[in-house]
């Protein structure tokens, strides 16, 4: 499958290149970057220098044709994917957009992202790429809205409980933390080492754009109107997300029973693991796994579900490749079976 990456100099693209290279059936035929066209990716990222990539190219439909592109990864930021999606409207190949531009309807997008949405007709044809929950639709789709990193961690943890209606949809209290790669490659006070190091910072309280994504997917999948209280924090690590979710159960089970229930629910999933130990981000970094831990407490009556993922993998590139596998008819885990990088 011949792949082109658009937005080829950001962090997402770097990870896509790394992962596609170890995938047996995907091949990069072009790297597109309008801002760095004619530059060499291996001069920007010198650590890649044993690889033979052609120079970065400007986007054009003719170029996609010329190199025989069959699958496009849009590794562009939210608000920038829009322009490529509109130009690709009549293009016949497959597209996976890793930005937020296809995840929300127009009204919701413009409210939460505070920028113009992609044409609604395009957004309407996109399939939400939460692989475990939308597998059949993904297989036949040609346009994927790859889920947000926090949304992936949260939804994989919440959906079994909401689907089976064993918890209340309101309130759902989520406190999540992410490493710095989630903030992308651009410079800011928050990403300056001296500021971020030895620090933890809460940001976008009640304003995070993954809130409507989470709530709308819950609506679509379970028919329930959940309301999510969502606090996001930046912690001084490069990769990883932990979401700690406090829930109110509707039925009575012991912690062990809940764990077995969840284990049974996800039994056949290659990338979802139910963890019997205290959860930690390191269990998944470098891998496409989502590890879920569940605690039940008689004293408070709460369930606590903890979800950890690598935001660059299951939260972005890993899941994009999982979706590419589904779209292309490959084995779902192909090229994604590496162990976490514990050390």
Catalytically active residues are 149
The minimum distance between CB 137 and its own copies, in angstroms, equals 26
DSSP readout, 105-124?
A: -HHHHHHHH-SPPPPHHHHH
Task: Tell me which residue of 131, 6, 34, 24 sits closest to 16, measured CA to CA.
Answer: 6
Among 87, 192, 264, 331, binds its own copies (CB under 8 A): 192
Residues numbered 194-213 forming contacts with its own copies, rule: CB under 8 A: 194-203, 205-206
Q: Please identify, among the stretches 98-106, 120-128, 135-143, 242-250, the one whose residues bind its own copies according to the rule CB under 8 A.
A: 242-250
Shorter beta-carbon distance to its own copies: residue 89 or 111 = 111
Q: How many residues bind its own copies (CB under 8 A)?
A: 86
Shorter beta-carbon distance to its own copies: residue 83 or 108 = 108
Contact 339, 287 (CB under 8 A): yes
- Provide the 8-state DSSP code for 314: I
Q: Under DSSP, is residue 324 helix (H, G, I), strand (E, B) or coil? A: helix
Return all residues near 79 (Cβ < 8 A) that are at least 6 apart: 99, 101, 113, 115, 116
Residues numbered 144-183 forming contacts with its own copies, rule: CB under 8 A: 171, 173, 175, 177, 179-181
Among 6, 8, 14, 102, binds its own copies (CB under 8 A): 14
Q: Please identify, among the stretches 16-24, 32-40, 81-89, 260-268, the one whose residues bind its own copies according to the rule CB under 8 A.
A: 16-24
Shorter beta-carbon distance to its own copies: residue 223 or 342 = 342
Residues numbered 31-60 forming contacts with its own copies, rule: CB under 8 A: 45-51
Residues numbered 255-284 forming contacts with its own copies, rule: CB under 8 A: 270, 273, 275-284
Cα separation, 31 vs 35, in Å, equals 12
- Provide the 8-state DSSP code for 54: P
Return all residues near 89 (Cβ < 8 A) that are at least 6 apart: 119, 122
Shorter beta-carbon distance to its own copies: residue 199 or 256 = 199
Cα separation, 290 vs 141, in Å, equals 24
Shorter beta-carbon distance to its own copies: residue 142 or 175 = 175
Residues numbered 69-98 forming contacts with its own copies, rule: CB under 8 A: none
């Amino acid at each position: 499958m011949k792949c082109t990456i658009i937005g080829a100099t950001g962090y997402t693209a770097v990870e896509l290149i790394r992962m596609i290279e170890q995938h047996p059936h995907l091949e990069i035929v072009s790297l597109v970057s309008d801002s760095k066209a004619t530059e060499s990716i291996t001069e920007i990222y010198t650590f890649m220098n044993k690889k033979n990539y052609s120079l970065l190219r400007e986007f054009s439909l003719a170029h996609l044709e010329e190199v025989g592109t069959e699958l496009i990864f849009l590794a562009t930021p939210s608000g920038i994917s829009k322009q490529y999606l509109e130009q690709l409207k009549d293009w016949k190949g497959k597209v996976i957009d890793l930005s937020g531009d296809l995840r929300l309807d127009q009204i919701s997008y413009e409210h939460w992202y505070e920028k113009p949405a992609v044409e609604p007709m395009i957004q309407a044809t996109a399939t939400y790429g939460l692989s475990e929950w939308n597998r059949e639709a993904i297989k036949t789709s040609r346009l994927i809205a790859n889920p947000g990193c926090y949304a992936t961690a949260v939804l994989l943890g919440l959906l079994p409980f909401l689907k089976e209606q064993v918890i209340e949809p309101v309130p759902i209290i989520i406190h999540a933390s992410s490493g710095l790669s989630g903030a992308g490659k651009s410079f800011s006070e928050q990403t300056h080492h001296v500021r971020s190091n030895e620090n933890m910072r809460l940001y976008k309280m009640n304003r995070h754009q993954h809130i409507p994504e989470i709530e709308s997917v819950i609506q679509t999948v379970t028919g329930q109107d959940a309301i999510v209280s969502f606090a996001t924090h930046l912690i001084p690590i490069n990769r990883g997300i932990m979401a700690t979710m406090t829930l109110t159960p509707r039925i009575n089970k012991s912690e062990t029973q809940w764990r077995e229930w969840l284990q049974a629910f996800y039994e056949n999933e290659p990338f979802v693991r139910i963890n019997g130990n205290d959860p930690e981000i390191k269990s998944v970094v470098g891998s496409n796994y989502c590890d879920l831990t569940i605690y039940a407490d008689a004293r408070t009556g709460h369930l606590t579900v903890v979800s950890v993922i690598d935001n660059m993998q299951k939260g972005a590139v890993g899941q994009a490749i999982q979706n590419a596998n589904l779209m292309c008819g490959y084995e779902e885990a192909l090229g994604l079976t590496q162990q976490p990088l514990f050390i």
